[in-house]
Every structure is written in structure tokens, then in C-alpha cells.
């Protein structure tokens, strides 16, 4: 019986330590636009991943959007949009707008 109590406490401790790792995440959805931007999602992804606190960038969940998972408090949604707005070339550009 003592062994079960020890194992139960150990499992409870491990689970309690794992939960906060996910508690500090947010998902931000940004609508993409701009001239020929859909051909440059790799550049958009690179710009977003360079931002502090960005964990994942997903373009497949919503067509024409970037779904970005961030660590809470590390970066503001407006900063993500600004990073997208800075992605441009000679005859193309991208825009990002935070979806509310």
C-alpha cells in the first residue's frame, strides 16, 4: 500500500509540473494580404519565427491566415503584424492584420 501511495504522489507531482508549461501560451490569428504575398509565405514564416516568444507558425489551418502560437507576454500581436508588414520585395509585399 505504501508503494502505491509513493507512486501516486510522484505521478501527481510530475503532472503538476507539466501543466504550467502550456498555461503561458496564446494563439494569435493574422489575416494575410498584399501583392503576391501568397507566394512568399516562407519569408513571412521566417519573419515571424525571428520574433521573441514565437513557438509555432501555421498557414494550413486557415487559408490566407497565419495562426501563431506565442509565449504569453513575450511579443504583442501588433508586433507580429508589423513583422509581416516588413516582408516585401521589389514588386511584391505582404500585409498582416490581427484578427480579433
- Longest Cα–Cα distance in the chain: 72
Whole-number percent of the chain with pLDDT over 90? 76
Question: What global pTM score does this model have?
Answer: 0.76
Domain ranges of the chain: 24-98
Low-confidence ranges of the chain (pLDDT < 50): 5-21
Q: What is the 8-class DSSP label of residue 8?
A: H
Looking at domain 24-98, its CATH class is alpha beta
pLDDT at position 57: 98
Bridge partners of residue 25, in order along the sequence = 71
pLDDT tens digit string along 46-70? 999 999 999 999 999 999 999 999 9
pLDDT at 18: 44
What pLDDT score was predicted for residue 52?
96
Amino acid at each position: 500500500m505504501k508503494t502505491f501511495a509513493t507512486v501516486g504522489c510522484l505521478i501527481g507531482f510530475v503532472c503538476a509540473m507539466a501543466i504550467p508549461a502550456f498555461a503561458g501560451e496564446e494563439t494569435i490569428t493574422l489575416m494575410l494580404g498584399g501583392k503576391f504575398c501568397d507566394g512568399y509565405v516562407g519569408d513571412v514564416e521566417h519573419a515571424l519565427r525571428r520574433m521573441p516568444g514565437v513557438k509555432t507558425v501555421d498557414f494550413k489551418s486557415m487559408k490566407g491566415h497565419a495562426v501563431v502560437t506565442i509565449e504569453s507576454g513575450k511579443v504583442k500581436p501588433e508586433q507580429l503584424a508589423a513583422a509581416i508588414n516588413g516582408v516585401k520585395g521589389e514588386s511584391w509585399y505582404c500585409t498582416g492584420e490581427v484578427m480579433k
